[in-house]
Structure 1
């Protein structure tokens, strides 16, 4: 069974930094490393931080990630993903103007055929989800990231993962060393 490691969480929690260290340590070729797709999709389709509440933007990001993820899984036995198809679902919920709209958005994205394929993989024991929790001193506004509501965003990640029955491990402010995060992630992946 092919193994996949997903590094997820709110903005500015060190996802890309951890992924870069893991990719180097594991000697992953580019085909096995799915980098963040949100910025590419935003650039290609004219989205911005101001359109983060747009459900279509989150759907486009989800589809883009799943396409890249499926290509990587086809090409390699070990895949590392900087984010997952869960991330756009969380942001669609987080930015909803009401609880009713949040439920509607969640339902729409959960029932998308591409997400249903991904969910099957996500629930397999070979899929390792590492949720990076917020570390206040790491928050950096680069004009693209959504840095508001990090705690609420983290809570939504946890709720979505639980609702979907996806096992995960949280690494937060008690584990700020990228080396320690790498060791704990690899330990989770190879336990």
Structure 2
């Protein structure tokens, strides 16, 4: 597992997470089995959830479960395929932490109802040690107001409030992260920033 570097791109809606991930896939030459695409949209589509369910335990637990499964599959694939002395890269568009953040937005603390249930679930506890490890990096994208778009699926929580909750949750869960905002506004700058993290 030492040769695996995992990058999780997280943040509020419409911060360019998927756009950044797609650009990184191309720039880093990643194969599909080493990329975790947006799990939440798949869960919502397959299980009939809508953005009205964003604070429901059922939806967020389903997202945590699916994310944990994809994480496990990608890590197993990385260890099977790794070439000695070469680094394998896992790129994830969001994480299981996202579900915790959206639950906490309606409860304000990790010790409340749905949030506590998610954080203490076996699926979340399975991925938490990997999120905390030196081989994982969370890249938290700050909201850019003019990028906020209503596509009928995204949760349009106040971007700054959601961002602050990401910071709070990541710190409380002791997950290392780096923040990216206006100083890295353009896609090329963001790709270069993450690439430096990968090969640091």
Q: Specify if TM > 0.5.
A: yes
TM-score, normalising length: structure 2: 0.90
Pair 1:78–1:113, CA change in 2 (3 A): same
**Structure 1 residue ranges without an equivalent (≥5):** none
TM-score (norm 1): 0.94
Q: How many residues align?
A: 189
User: Which residue matches 1:65?
Assistant: 67
Tell me by how many angstroms 1:44 deviates. 0.8
SS in structure 1 of the partner of residue 112 of structure 2? helix
Correspondence for 1:131: 140
- Secondary structure of the structure 1 residue equivalent to 2:138: strand
Partner of 2:91: 80
Q: Residues 1-191 of structure 1: matches in 2 within 5 Å?
A: 1=2, 2-76=4-78, 77-94=88-105, 96=106, 98-99=107-108, 103-191=112-200
Deviation sequence 1:62-95 (CA, Å, 0-9, x none)? 111111111111112311000011001101111x
Instruction: Evaluate the alpha carbon distance shift between residue 148 and residue 29 of structure 1 in structure 2; reply closer, same or farther with a 3 A threshold.
Output: same
In structure 2, the CA distance between the partners of 1:163 and 1:52, relative to structure 1 (3 Å rule), is: same
C-alpha contact 1:129 1:167 (8 A) present in aligned 2: yes
Unaligned 5+ runs, structure 2: 79-87
Confirm or deny: 8 A CA contact 1:92 1:102 kept in the other structure.
no
SS at match of 1:174: helix
CA, structure 1 residues 154+28, in 2 after alignment: closer, same or farther (shift >3 Å)?
A: same
Measure how far apart 1:20 and its partner are.
Answer: 0.4
Residues 99 and 179 of structure 1: CA distance in aligned 2, closer, same or farther (over 3 Å):
closer
Q: Secondary structure at the match of 2:7?
A: strand
CA offset at residue 100 of structure 1? 7.0
Q: Say what the alpha-carbon RMSD is for the aligned residues.
A: 1.4
